Amino acid sequence: MGGGKIIDCGKVFADHLNIPLVVVPTVASTDAPCTGCAVIYDKHNHITSFEIQKNSPAIVLVDTNILLASPIRYFISGMADALATGFEAKSWLKKVL
């Protein structure tokens, strides 16, 4: 349960233990719950690693009441992240295909 950083930590642990992961996002600020990659930060909020997992989370459980109760800035951040992911995917496909 949590936001992007907590979910990313869970993805790393699940990948290293080779077990499926169930995530429960409590804010809609990133696409972390649905991706098969994780960004890890240190205590100063600097990126220390970027890891690609073998699998995306097996299950994403969403309580819309929790998401609706969170501050609007998280929803706006999530929409921006979703838009950026779309552009990144298009760019990547052009390079690969």
pLDDT in tens, 20-74: 999 998 888 888 888 888 988 899 989 899 898 999 999 999 898 988 888 899 8
Find the farthest-apart pair of alpha carbons in the chain and give their distance in angstroms, rounded.
42
The reported pLDDT for the residue numbered 35 is 85
Residue 34's nearest CA partner among 85, 92, 87, 88 is: 85
Domain ranges of the chain: 4-96
Q: Would you state the structure tokens that stand for residue 12, as one six-digit string?
A: 């790393």
Give the pTM: 0.75
Q: Would you state the structure tokens that stand for residue 20, as one six-digit string?
A: 């499926």
d(C-alpha 80, C-alpha 2), whole Å: 19
The reported pLDDT for the residue numbered 59 is 94
pLDDT of 1 strictly over 70:
no
d(C-alpha 55, C-alpha 44), whole Å: 28
The domain made up of 4-96 has a fold known as Rossmann fold (3.40.50)
